[in-house]
Amino acid sequence: MPDAVIRPARRGDGPGLAAVWLDTGAYYAQLDPDRFQLPQAAGMAEWFEDHWLLASHDDHDRFMRVAELDGQIAGFVSASLEQPFETAQWQLLRYLAWRRLAVHALVVSTRYWRRGVGRQLLVAAEDWGRSGGATLIQLDTAIDSPVSVPFYERGMGYVRQSLVFRKRL
């Protein structure tokens, strides 16, 4: 299978980004409807254009790349560099003294799953973070996802670090 073209997001990508986001939203809303929702489609392309794309171009500590395959946006990754805490010497978590890469979103349209698109996007983010001085990457995913958990653990070598608990009040 041909590799996707990984490139910076640009004006005009909003409709493709929205389509991938909605596709991913449908998957997660079906997986865990109590936690996830299908986002509202109206205005989403503009939201991506105005919020995501402009922010990633104006901030050198933010990373936004899209994967283009078969002339379509197949997925995207959004990440940012996090600085060490000024109070790291008093914190319990060792990594708070390190420059870190936080992945906020890694989404691939379901029609492009298992074609290497997610791997290419994540490797691009890892390379960017490494070149920016990051020594650790962090992200989260739905623990019950039969797609993302094996991808990160077996496919990309990530390890579980913690659990997030919740309880409705």
> CATH number of the domain at 5-155, out of 3.30.930.10, 3.30.230.70, 3.40.630.30, 3.30.1300.10?
3.40.630.30
Alpha helix locations (H) across the chain? 14-31, 44-47, 54-58, 117-131, 148-150
Domain boundaries defined on the chain: 5-155
User: Which of 108, 26, 41, 104 shows the shortest CA–CA distance to 68?
Assistant: 108
Binned at pLDDT 50, 70 and 90, residue 56 comes out as low
- Read off the pTM: 0.92
Contact 12, 53 (CB under 8 A): no
State the pLDDT at residue 58.
Answer: 61
Q: Average pLDDT, stretch 103-129?
A: 96
Q: Average pLDDT, stretch 53-79?
A: 86
Residue-wise pLDDT tens digits, 11-42: 999 999 999 999 999 999 999 999 999 999 99
| CA 95 to mean position of chain CA atoms | 20
Residue-wise pLDDT tens digits, 139-153: 999 999 999 999 999
